[in-house]
Amino acid sequence: MSDWLRGGVIYQIYPRSFRDSNGDGVGDLKGIVEKLEYIAELGVDAVWLSPFFRSPMKDYGYDVSDYADVDPMFGSLNDFDMLVDRAHKLGIKVIIDLVFSHSSDQHAWFQESRFSRESAKADWYVWADAKPDGSPPNNWQAMFGGPSWTWDSRRRQYYLHNFLPEQPDLNIRNVHVQDALLDAARFWLVRGVDGFRLDVVNFYAHDARLRDNPPLEIDEGTPARPHQFQRHLYDRTQPEAFEFIARLRELLNEHNAVAIGEIEDEDPHPVQRDYTDTPQKLHSAYSFYLLRSEKLTPHIFQQAMEGWEGAPGWPSWSLSNHDVVRCATRLANEDPELTKVVLAVLLTLRGTPFLYQGDELGLPHADVAYERLLDPEAIAFWPHGIGRDGARTPMPWTVTKPLVGFTVGDDSWLPIDYRHRAMAADVQEADPNSVLHFTREMLSVRRASKALREGRYTPLEAPPQVLAHERKAGDETVICAFNFTSDPVRWPLPAEAKRTLITVGNAEIRDGAAVLDGASAILFET
């Protein structure tokens, strides 16, 4: 693995919502360049850019129509080159989002594939005949609702799509498809990117026999989406994907680049481990285990660490991204001090942490009225869906500007939550007790500590409301204790404290114990 990834911190940028430089209400690459110094001052090691490729934007960039070009709304290839150059000069690595599970239905590959069963690219996507009664080939359900199959009248066959009908699945078993995708990856590696985040990497291959998924025992109440009624044994997480991943890994090794996979599965930890357990697989992987946790308890983090105990691979962790409710709302009740505690936990877990834009400000999940919703998932499952638009609203930069400094224009593509204005970056810059200042301090502590970056992880016994663990590398030992509740607690120390590294809220070492008020934390060396 490239040395920087083990212990590094990655900052996710959702380009549409980060900074708009030309006034059209949509963020762009030049806007990101304008804010790279802000990111460098945070103290992160890399940025991950969500898709900026040419796209009809049916799923806001996750439906790619050209893997080797920038969509004009975001700028140009020259703008991208400028971004990479400036980031590298600031010591920031650049990771981009590759969507290889599927493409847009407007991609030239799919247009040729659907034209005829005899075309050169006839087998580049997943096609199947109808059942004798005309119904789809099996019972697979798409993530965004409805069957995973859409009938195409030209081919007189169904094509597979795990998401929108406008996002047909590529047939990664086809070596020519593999070659084309590797060419796309090579295009960006040659331009200087340092690695890739691989969207839904365990969706790359499906069961060749197209067997039905079995039903899943569900909790009381009705799930929001039909696909939640199934155990996804056959529509994802198939071993044939590893042939392509091995070829991708060879290419990455040639360029000293990394790949971090996104895993979507009912039992994510074994799948994460399986995708990272040899040098022929991914450098790291993360799942939705913490991203979808809705209650802040020591148990969720303990389970996350236990899920990787003894694994040869390296995990990644995230508490927010563009697909889920922000962690300040979901886990911290929009309490700034508890948000600091949550961020401190993330930055002390064994693995590579991802910070999503705005988490360093403690932004709550935005309220977006139904009439302003744009996300197809949010609209399809309203009012019971995830509400992804609320995680995608524009970054607040300047409190005094009409659209908080996100754009120089008159409107933004999504509305700005009024609560975000008072939490703008310039407001927090002026407040030494802000979430922004704490995030910078916590990242500095992590960067200075080999134990926190890559040390062994050991859980420690503590009162039920306290999460406590030890990180150890060589002679350096750091103990971390977090109180998630509003009640004070006293925790007898397992070893003598030599130096306090950082605290959240009212927390101190006194008489051989950590004394933690509500919503507080302490990290110390022993």
- Sign for the CA dihedral angle at 125, 126, 132, 133 comes to negative
Task: Tell me the percentage of the chain whose pLDDT exceeds 70.
Answer: 99
pLDDT band at residue 4 using 50, 70 and 90 as cut-offs: very high
pLDDT band at residue 313 using 50, 70 and 90 as cut-offs: very high
pLDDT band at residue 387 using 50, 70 and 90 as cut-offs: confident
pLDDT band at residue 100 using 50, 70 and 90 as cut-offs: very high
pLDDT at residue 340 above 90?
yes
What's the Cα-to-Cα distance from 335 to each of 181, 387, 439, rounded to whole Å?
Answer: 44, 21, 15
d(CA 340, CA 342): 5
- Asked if residue 113 lies in contact with residue 154, where contact means CB atoms within 8 angstroms, the answer is no
DSSP state of 324: S
Weakest mean pLDDT among 104-113, 221-230, 268-277: 221-230
Joined tokens for residue 518:
């509500």
Per-residue model confidence (pLDDT) at position 428: 98
Weakest mean pLDDT among 42-46, 48-52, 229-233: 229-233
Joined tokens for residue 162:
């795990």
User: What is the average pLDDT value for the chain, to the nearest integer?
Assistant: 96
pLDDT at residue 358 above 90?
yes
pLDDT band at residue 221 using 50, 70 and 90 as cut-offs: low
pLDDT band at residue 282 using 50, 70 and 90 as cut-offs: very high
Half-sphere exposure at residue 304, Cβ-oriented, CA atoms within 13 angstroms: 29
Joined tokens for residue 182:
């590797």
Mean pLDDT to the nearest integer, 459-484 = 97
Q: What domains are defined for the chain?
A: 10-103+174-443 (3.20.20.80), 455-525 (2.60.40.1180)
Task: Please identify every residue annotated as catalytic.
Answer: 199, 254
Task: Tell me the percentage of the chain whose pLDDT exceeds 90.
Answer: 94
Per-residue model confidence (pLDDT) at position 225: 83
What is the distance between the terminal CA atoms of the chain, rounded to a whole angstrom?
30
d(CA 171, CA 240): 11
Give residue-wise pLDDT tens across range 115-172.
999 999 999 999 999 999 999 999 999 999 999 999 999 999 999 999 999 999 999 9
pLDDT band at residue 1 using 50, 70 and 90 as cut-offs: very low
- Asked if residue 286 lies in contact with residue 225, where contact means CB atoms within 8 angstroms, the answer is no
pLDDT band at residue 219 using 50, 70 and 90 as cut-offs: confident
